[in-house]
Amino acid sequence: MNEIQALVATYGVSVIGAIAVLVVGWILAGWASRAVSTGLGKVEKVDETLRGFLASLTRYIVLIFTVVAVLNRFGVQTTSIIAVLGAASLAIGLALQGTLSNVAAGVMLLFFRPFKVGDYVEAGGLAGTVKDIGLFVTELSTPDNVQILAPNSQIWGSAVKNYSFHETRRVDLVLGIAYEDDLDKAIGLVEAMARADGRVLDDPAPMVVVGELADSSVNLVIRLWCNSADYWPLKFDMMKALKQRMDTEGISIPYPQRTLHVVGPAAASAVAAE
Contacts 24+ apart (CB under 8 A), 186-192: 186/220, 186/246, 186/251, 187/220, 189/245, 189/246, 189/249, 189/251, 190/220, 190/222, 190/242
User: What is the per-residue pLDDT across 257-270, written as a single tens digit (0 to 9) for each?
Assistant: 666 777 666 555 55
User: What is the per-residue pLDDT across 89-126, written as a single tens digit (0 to 9) for each?
Assistant: 666 555 545 667 777 888 788 778 888 888 999 998 89
C-beta separation of 54 from 36 below 8 A: yes
With a cut of 90, say whether residue 134 has pLDDT above it.
no
Hey, how many other C-beta atoms are within 10 angstroms of the C-beta on 16? 11
Which of 184, 175, 196 lies closest to 247, judged by CA? 175
pLDDT score at 36: 79
C-beta separation of 192 from 154 below 8 A: no
pLDDT score at 253: 87
Which of 239, 231, 228 lies closest to 193, judged by CA? 239
How sure is the predictor about 207, in pLDDT bands with cuts at 50, 70 and 90? very high
User: What is the per-residue pLDDT across 147-201, written as a single tens digit (0 to 9) for each?
Assistant: 999 988 889 888 999 999 999 999 999 999 999 999 999 999 999 999 999 999 9
Length in residues, the chain: 274
Give the H/E segment covering residue 234.
helix 231-248
User: What is the per-residue pLDDT across 12-63, written as a single tens digit (0 to 9) for each?
Assistant: 566 677 777 778 888 888 888 888 778 777 776 666 666 776 777 788 788 8
**Of 38-42, 64-68, 76-80, 229-233, where does mean pLDDT reach its minimum?**
76-80
What are the beta bridge partners of residue 140? 130, 148
Region 1-10 average pLDDT: 53
How sure is the predictor about 236, in pLDDT bands with cuts at 50, 70 and 90? very high
Ramachandran quadrant class, 183 (left: phi over 0; alpha: psi -120 to 50; beta: rest): alpha
Domains, the chain, with CATH or none: 2-95 (1.10.287.1260), 114-162 (2.30.30.60), 168-248 (3.30.70.100)
Region 122-134 average pLDDT: 89
Q: State which amino acid sits at residue 211.
A: G
Region 58-86 average pLDDT: 71
Between residues 226 and 99, which one has the greater pLDDT? 226
With a cut of 90, say whether residue 205 has pLDDT above it.
yes
Between residues 216 and 141, which one has the greater pLDDT? 141
